[in-house]
C-alpha cells in the first residue's frame, strides 16, 4: 500500500458546458425520488410537487455559491477547502465532516429504498437486501471497478426512462385530484421540502468537475442551474403523475411507490419494469454515493484532518481501500436502523448545516472585494449566498428536533476528532 495525492489519481480533462450539465443531470436524477416520494406525500399531501420546487430553490442558491467559489480555489472536497478558506481550518473540517456523514447516511437510505423494491419483487427481508447492496457496492469499489462515463450515461437513460413511463401513465389521470390539497397545511409542504432536499444532493458533486473544465467560472454556474432546472422539471411532472394515479394517501402507504403507480396504470408487466428500473437506479446511486463518501474520507485523511490510514491507496488497484471499507461498514450499520424518513432527515440536517457554512463562506470571501463589486456582482456574490444561508437554515429547522439533536451529536463528534487529530499532529511535530 502507498500514499498518493489526488492529482496523481485524477486524470486532467477539459469539459464544456454541455457535458458538465449532462453529468450533473445524471448525478442529481438518481434514486431519491424512487425512495422518498411516498414519504414526502404523507407530509405534503397532493401538493408534494410544491415541495420539490421549494427544495430546488435551496439547492439552486447553494449551487450558485459553490460555483462562484470555484474561481477562488477549485478543489475536491470543496466544503472543507472553501469554508476553511473563509473561517479557518476547524470550521472547514466540520463542514467536510458533515458532508461526509451525510453521504454515508445517504448510502444507507438508498439501500433501504432498494430493499423496499426488492421486497416487492421477491419478498426478501428489508434488512437483508439493504445490507447486501451495501456489501456489493463496497466490494465493487474495493476491486477498483469504477463507474465509467458510458455506464453512468446508460444508467441515467434507464432512470429517465422510468420517470417518463410514470409521467405517461399519470397524464391521462391529470385533474383527478386537487393538487393543492395539504393535509398538514403549508407546514407539511415545507417539512416535505426538507426531506426531499436529499434528492438534489448530487448537484454538489458537479463542483468536482471544476479542475477539468475549460472555463469553470463562466460555465459551472450555468451548468448547475441548467441541471437543477431539468431535474426539477422531471420531479414535478413525476409527482403530479403519481398523485393523479394513487393520490397522496396511496403513495404514502407504499414501500415501492412508483412501481405501484405503474401497476395501477398498466398492470403487472409495467410494475415489474418499474421495479427493475428502480432497483438499477437505487443500486447505481448507492455505488456513486459510497464512492463519493470514501473519496471525501480519503481526501480529508490526506489533508491530515482524519487518521492517515484512510489515505492508503492499494498499489495494484489504485483504490483507497481503507476508506472504502470503513465507509461501507458505517453505511451498513446505519441501514440497520431501517427508518428511511428519520435517517433522511438526519442526513439533510447535516448537509444543510454544511451548506449554510458554504453560503456564509461566499458572503465573507466576496465581501472582502466590496470596493470592486458592481451591482451585478453584489447580487450574485453577496445577496444570493445570503439568501442561501436563510433558506438552508429554514429547511434545517423543518427537519425536526430529533434531526437537530443528531446533527449536534455529529458536530460534537467532529470537534472531538479534530481536537484529537490536532493533538496527534502536534505530538508528531514535537517528536
| 115-127 pLDDT, tens digit each | 988 998 888 898 9
Residue 421 has pLDDT above 50, yes or no: yes
Q: For 281-288, what is the mean pLDDT?
A: 81
Residue 227: C-alpha distances to residues 27, 260, 310 (Å): 9, 28, 32
Q: What is the three-class DSSP state of 124?
A: coil
Rounded CA-CA distance 341/110 in Å is: 11
Residue 42 has pLDDT above 50, yes or no: yes
User: Residue written as cell 438508498?
Assistant: 110
Per DSSP, what are the bridge partners of residue 3?
312
Our measurement of the distance from residue 160's CA atom to the centroid of its chain's CA atoms, rounded to an integer in Å, reads 18
| 79-96 pLDDT, tens digit each | 888 898 889 889 999 999
**333 vs 281, residue with greater confidence:** 333
Residue 8 has pLDDT above 60, yes or no: no
349 CB-side CA count, 13 A: 22
Residue 355: Cβ-neighbour burial (10 angstroms; 0-12, 13-18, 19+): buried
pLDDT at 148: 42
* Helix ranges restricted to H, 368-400: 375-378, 384-397
Residue 7 has pLDDT above 50, yes or no: no
407 CB-side CA count, 13 A: 25
Residue 176: C-alpha distances to residues 173, 189, 270, 322 (Å): 6, 20, 21, 53
- The pTM of this model reads 0.82
Residue 372 has pLDDT above 80, yes or no: no
Q: What is the three-class DSSP state of 2?
A: strand
Q: What is the CATH number of domain 2-366+398-421?
A: 1.20.1740.10
pLDDT at 147: 45
| 245-281 pLDDT, tens digit each | 888 888 888 878 888 888 887 776 777 888 888 888 8
Q: In b/e form, how buried is each residue of 138-153, taking b as 16+ CB within 10 angstroms?
A: bebbbeeeeeeeeebe
Residue 164 has pLDDT above 60, yes or no: yes
**381 vs 1, residue with greater confidence:** 381
| 306-315 pLDDT, tens digit each | 888 888 776 6
* Domain residue limits, the chain: 2-366+398-421
Rounded CA-CA distance 181/48 in Å is: 9
Q: For 124-138, what is the mean pLDDT?
A: 91
Amino acid at each position: 500500500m502507498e500514499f498518493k495525492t489526488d492529482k496523481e489519481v485524477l486524470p486532467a480533462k477539459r469539459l464544456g458546458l454541455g457535458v458538465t450539465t449532462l453529468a450533473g443531470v445524471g448525478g442529481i436524477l438518481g434514486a431519491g425520488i424512487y425512495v422518498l416520494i411516498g414519504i414526502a406525500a404523507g407530509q405534503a399531501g397532493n401538493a408534494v410537487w410544491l415541495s420539490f420546487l421549494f427544495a430546488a430553490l435551496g439547492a439552486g442558491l447553494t449551487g450558485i455559491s459553490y460555483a462562484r467559489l470555484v474561481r477562488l480555489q477549485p478543489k475536491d472536497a470543496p466544503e472543507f477547502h472553501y469554508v476553511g478558506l473563509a473561517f479557518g481550518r476547524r470550521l472547514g473540517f466540520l463542514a467536510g465532516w458533515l458532508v461526509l456523514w451525510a453521504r454515508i447516511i445517504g448510502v444507507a437510505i438508498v439501500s433501504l429504498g432498494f430493499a423496499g423494491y426488492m421486497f416487492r419483487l421477491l419478498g426478501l427481508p428489508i434488512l437483508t437486501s439493504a445490507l447486501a447492496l451495501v456489501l456489493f457496492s463496497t466490494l465493487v469499489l474495493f476491486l477498483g471497478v469504477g463507474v465509467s462515463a458510458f455506464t453512468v450515461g446508460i444508467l441515467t437513460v434507464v432512470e429517465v426512462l422510468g420517470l417518463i413511463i410514470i409521467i405517461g401513465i399519470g397524464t391521462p389521470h391529470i385533474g383527478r385530484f386537487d393538487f393543492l390539497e395539504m393535509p398538514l397545511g403549508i407546514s407539511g409542504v415545507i417539512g416535505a421540502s426538507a426531506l426531499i432536499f436529499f434528492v438534489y444532493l448530487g448537484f454538489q458533486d458537479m463542483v468536482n468537475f471544476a479542475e477539468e473544465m475549460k472555463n469553470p467560472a463562466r460555465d459551472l454556474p450555468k451548468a448547475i442551474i441548467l441541471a437543477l432546472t431539468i431535474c426539477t422539471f422531471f420531479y414535478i411532472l413525476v409527482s403530479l403523475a403519481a398523485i393523479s394515479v394513487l393520490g397522496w394517501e396511496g403513495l404514502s402507504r407504499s414501500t415501492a411507490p412508483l412501481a405501484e403507480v405503474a401497476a395501477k396504470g398498466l398492470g403487472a408487466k409495467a410494475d415489474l419494469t418499474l421495479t427493475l428500473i428502480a432497483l438499477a437506479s437505487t443500486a447505481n446511486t448507492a455505488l456513486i454515493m459510497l464512492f463519493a463518501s470514501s473519496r471525501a474520507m480519503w481526501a480529508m485523511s490526506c489533508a491530515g484532518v482524519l487518521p492517515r490510514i484512510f489515505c492508503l491507496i492499494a498499489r495494484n488497484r489504485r483504490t483507497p481501500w481503507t476508506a472504502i471499507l470503513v465507509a461501507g461498514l458505517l453505511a451498513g450499520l446505519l441501514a440497520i436502523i431501517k427508518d428511511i424518513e428519520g435517517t433522511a432527515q438526519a442526513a439533510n440536517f447535516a448537509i444543510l448545516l454544511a451548506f449554510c457554512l458554504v453560503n456564509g463562506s461566499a458572503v465573507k470571501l466576496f465581501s472582502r472585494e466590496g470596493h470592486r463589486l458592481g451591482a451585478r456582482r453584489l447580487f450574485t456574490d453577496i445577496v444570493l449566498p445570503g439568501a442561501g444561508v436563510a433558506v438552508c437554515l429554514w429547511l434545517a429547522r423543518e427537519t425536526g428536533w430529533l434531526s437537530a439533536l443528531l446533527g449536534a451529536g455529529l458536530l460534537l463528534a467532529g470537534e472531538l476528532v479534530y481536537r484529537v487529530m490536532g493533538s496527534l499532529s502536534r505530538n508528531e511535530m514535537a517528536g
